[in-house]
Structures are given as structure tokens and as C-alpha cells.
């Protein structure tokens, strides 16, 4: 079972397909869960503390907006943990915690520079593309240990 990071990091389809094939999908909701359901919430309601952006300093410089560093404090450790990645380019509907374009650029860069196997795809627009989409993911995940 490999740990596979998916991009967009909140994708339902990608995380489901990864779990279906018997691997572990590394997704942002898991990181959010650890933060918001911790027993000792230090900064209610969302437990976002100054420590978050500081953690983000490992991935982005101090002059980078704190929003990028805050997001990276969640996504960065996931990237470090990953053993493979599936990247779907230009989804066009990234919102919420995935709605920052600069963070997304940095996430894709960090995944690629990490040196793990990466599968690049586009979201399908018809049935034929969907079959290729699923088949490529199956083949990629089947090749992982």
C-alpha cells in the first residue's frame, strides 16, 4: 500500500479511486480533521494558531502571503509523506482551502521536485476520455508497491 497524494488535494474522485485500488490517499481533509478535532483547541473556532504560518516557512519564504504559508502548513507535511502523486491539471473549480493559485503552483512544484512517481491527467469531458482516465489511474496505481 502506497501513500498517494492527489491534486486537487480535496478531490473526491481521485481520493476515491486511490482508496478503491487499495492505496492510501493523502488529502487535506485529514490534515484539517487533526487540527479542528484536537482535544486541546488553543485558538477556537478553527485552531489556527501562529504556529501554522511558521510551519509554512519550511515551504515558502517569509514575504510570501500568510495565506500561502498557512495552507502549506497543512499540505506541506502531506507532500513530504507521499510516495506517489496524481495531478489533474486545470480543474477550474478549485475553491475553499484549494482556492489559492500561488499555493497550488507551489504544491505542484514541490510534488514534482520530490522525485516520486507522478501521473498527469486532465478531467474527462466525455465517456471515452473517462475510460482512459480511469484506466490510466488503475495502471499507475497497479504499478505501485
Partner 1 sequence: MLITKYVITSSESNILPSDIAMKIYGSKYDVVVKETCFGVVINGEEDVINALVKEIRALDPVGIFIKDRGFPPGDPRRCRGRRGGGARPGFYMIESESKILPMISRALAWEGDIPVVPEKKRPLPIGRLEEIIKEDLS
Kindly list the residues in this chain that would bind partner 1 in the complex (CB under 8 A).
8, 10-13, 15-17, 19, 25, 27-33, 35-37, 45-46, 91, 93-98, 122-124, 126-135
Q: Considering the complex, what minimum distance in angstroms separates the CB of residue 42 from partner 1?
A: 15
Residue whose CB is less far from partner 1, 29 or 65: 29
**97-101, long-range: CB within 8 Å, 24+ apart, which pairs?**
97/9, 97/10, 97/28, 97/32, 97/71, 98/8, 98/9, 98/10, 98/28, 100/67, 100/68, 100/71
- Number of neighbouring beta carbons within 10 Å of residue 10: 19
Residue whose CB is less far from partner 1, 134 or 144: 134
Q: Considering the complex, what minimum distance in angstroms separates the CB of residue 83 from partner 1?
A: 18
Q: Considering the complex, what minimum distance in angstroms separates the CB of residue 116 from partner 1?
A: 21
Distance CA 46, CA 73 (A): 14
Residue whose CB is less far from partner 1, 93 or 113: 93
Residue whose CB is less far from partner 1, 49 or 57: 49
- Number of neighbouring beta carbons within 10 Å of residue 48: 16
Amino acid at each position: 500500500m502506497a501513500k498517494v497524494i492527489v491534486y486537487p488535494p480535496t478531490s473526491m474522485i481521485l481520493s476515491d479511486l486511490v482508496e478503491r485500488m487499495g492505496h492510501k490517499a493523502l488529502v487535506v481533509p485529514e490534515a484539517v480533521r487533526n487540527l479542528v478535532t484536537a482535544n486541546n483547541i488553543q485558538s477556537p473556532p478553527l485552531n489556527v494558531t501562529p504556529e501554522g504560518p511558521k510551519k509554512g516557512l519550511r515551504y515558502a519564504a517569509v514575504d510570501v502571503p500568510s495565506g500561502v504559508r498557512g495552507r502549506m502548513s497543512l499540505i506541506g507535511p502531506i507532500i513530504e509523506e507521499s510516495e506517489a502523486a496524481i495531478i489533474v491539471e486545470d480543474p477550474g473549480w478549485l475553491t475553499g482551502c484549494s482556492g489559492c493559485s500561488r499555493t497550488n503552483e507551489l504544491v505542484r512544484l514541490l510534488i514534482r521536485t520530490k522525485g516520486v512517481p507522478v501521473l498527469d491527467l486532465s478531467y474527462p469531458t466525455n465517456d471515452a476520455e473517462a475510460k482512459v482516465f480511469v484506466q490510466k489511474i488503475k495502471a499507475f496505481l497497479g504499478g505501485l508497491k
